[in-house]
Amino acid sequence: MSRTTATGQPSSTADATANATASATANAIAATEAHSAHNYHPLPVVVATGDGAWLTDVEGRRYLDMLAGYSALNFGHGNPRLIDAAKAQLERVTLTSRAFHHDRFADFCTRLAELCGMEMVLPMNTGAEAVETAVKTARKWGYRVKGVKEGAAKIVVAGNNFHGRTTTIISFSTDREARLDFGPYTPGFEIVPYGDLTAMEKAVSENTVAVLLEPIQGEAGVLVPPAGYLAGVRELTRERNVLFIADEIQSGLGRTGRTFACEHEGVVPDMYVLGKALGGGVVPVSAVVSSAEVLGVFRPGEHGSTFGGNPLACAVGLEVVAMLRTGEFQQRATELGEHLHRELGLLTGTGAVREVRGRGLWAGVDIDPVYGTGREISEKLMAKGVLVKDTHGSTIRIAPPLVISKEDLDWGLDQLRAVLAG
């Protein structure tokens, strides 16, 4: 692992260089503040390049990326297989729109459906679009197949969910910041506490067309539901003729040590909603994957996207599916994840760390607020060359690319220990 090295220049030249690069960071941040909407609060680092689990900023400092684009970068920065697939496709054709067929589309849909053990795919671009697609699909299935009265369809969701940022999706969020000032909200959703099967049973009625859940709630702090919950939801939805939609946008595609987090409970939902890592961190690729009965409800003109399923997206997505078929990344997430959780477990209850949750190479670490907010801990880690992201006050999320080496992971954990030791 090579860290920032001294330049070896005479000190005045070195100082001038240091000032110029420091101002490169300050200038980029100032320009961002001035010209970009303040809908994010990034850490004060300006990334220039990435390679595997590492990022380099505009001043040449290296950072271990322990966030991995919220799991969009499961295969690491600049993964050679994905970059080669993208480059090859860039030379051929990048966009046709769905007005025409193209020669990557059928393969992508077929292989992705196979990976999911499903029959049909509806590709979109971002995660939120895929969730919107899932909502529309479930409603249409409810009216056309289940026989729910037009306009009466209900979807049951969980408290503390995070499914994206569109107006319909924030309508069923319980996060005040995500909703405030964005009403009026879309009706047709019922919110029950996550992990509470009894509440779910009560909420499901004859008008319920779907239950939409994250198998592990990422944004809420990597919350793993109680054992048996997902299996219970599966049984309930099957009994009541309700679709079980698993939003695996963050939890899926290797992160937890399985292709899908639902697998940990032996559960197969009726529909997967996928995104993030499906585009390998190269292009936005998302999809709804389900049975022919469910996705078969659509007719031409009823749903779509100019970019959804474009040739470049399909070429990269195909390579992602091929990489996941080997099981190599799931295996890495399992092995390194066991190591990560063992190490974090040693920190739990011994001072700064109150609780650690997660599965595979994914952890939510609750810090005792006495030791600082999640943001403060993240900034201190940044100063030590590790990038993470806080969530909900005093929780930090650890989700490095699955290609990270054990040595680098250990180095990152050393920095965390050092920061928590004050």
Ligand X SMILES: Cc1ncc(COP(=O)(O)O)c(C=O)c1O
* Catalytic pick among 75, 105, 108, 162: 162
* Catalytic pick among 57, 276, 307, 366: 276
d(CA 54, CA 401): 9
The verdict on whether 189 is a catalytic residue reads no
Task: Extract long-range pairs of 226-234: CB within 8 Å, 24+ residues apart.
Answer: 226/195, 227/265, 228/197, 228/265, 229/195, 229/197, 229/265, 230/262, 230/264, 230/265, 230/267, 231/265, 231/266, 231/267, 232/197, 232/200, 233/197, 233/200, 233/267, 234/265, 234/267, 234/268, 234/269
249 neighbors 274 (Cβ within 8 angstroms)? yes
- Stretch in the footprint of ligand X (CB under 6 A) among 27-35, 46-54, 102-110, 212-220: 212-220
Q: Does 162 bind ligand X (CB under 6 A)?
A: yes
Nearer to ligand X, 123 or 372 (CB): 123
* Catalytic pick among 57, 65, 247, 408: 247
Nearer to ligand X, 210 or 419 (CB): 210
Q: Quote the least distance from Cβ 73 to ligand X, whole Å.
A: 13
Nearer to ligand X, 46 or 178 (CB): 178
Q: Quote the least distance from Cβ 166 to ligand X, whole Å.
A: 8
386 neighbors 413 (Cβ within 8 angstroms)? no
Q: How many residues bind ligand X (CB under 6 A)?
A: 15
The verdict on whether 100 is a catalytic residue reads no
Q: Does 164 bind ligand X (CB under 6 A)?
A: yes
Q: Does 108 bind ligand X (CB under 6 A)?
A: no
For residue 42, the tally of other CB atoms under 10 A from its CB is 11
Q: Quote the least distance from Cβ 364 to ligand X, whole Å.
A: 13
Q: Quote the least distance from Cβ 214 to ligand X, whole Å.
A: 5
51 neighbors 404 (Cβ within 8 angstroms)? no
Q: Does 249 bind ligand X (CB under 6 A)?
A: yes
Binding-site string for ligand X from residue 114 to residue 133, where x marks contact by CB under 6 A and - marks none: ------------xxx--x--
Q: Does 221 bind ligand X (CB under 6 A)?
A: no
307 neighbors 279 (Cβ within 8 angstroms)? no
Q: Quote the least distance from Cβ 161 to ligand X, whole Å.
A: 8
Binding-site string for ligand X from residue 34 to residue 73, where x marks contact by CB under 6 A and - marks none: ------------------------------------x---
Among 139, 163, 258, 397, binds ligand X (CB under 6 A): 163
Query: What kind and span of H or E run contains 354?
Result: strand 353-358
295 neighbors 288 (Cβ within 8 angstroms)? yes
Query: What kind and span of H or E run contains 229?
Result: helix 229-239
Using the structure block, give the residue that is written with the tokens 């937890």: 256
- Stretch in the footprint of ligand X (CB under 6 A) among 25-33, 37-45, 160-168, 234-242: 160-168
Q: Quote the least distance from Cβ 358 to ligand X, whole Å.
A: 14
Backbone angles phi, psi at 405, to 5 degrees: -85, 160
Q: Report angle CA 178, 184, 188 to the nearest 5 degrees.
A: 90
3 state SS for 103-124: CCHHHHHHHHHHHHCCCEEEEE
For residue 36, the tally of other CB atoms under 10 A from its CB is 10
The verdict on whether 75 is a catalytic residue reads no
Cite the active site residues.
162, 247, 276
Contacts with ligand X by CB under 6 A lie at 70, 126-128, 131, 162-164, 214, 218-219, 247, 249-250, 275
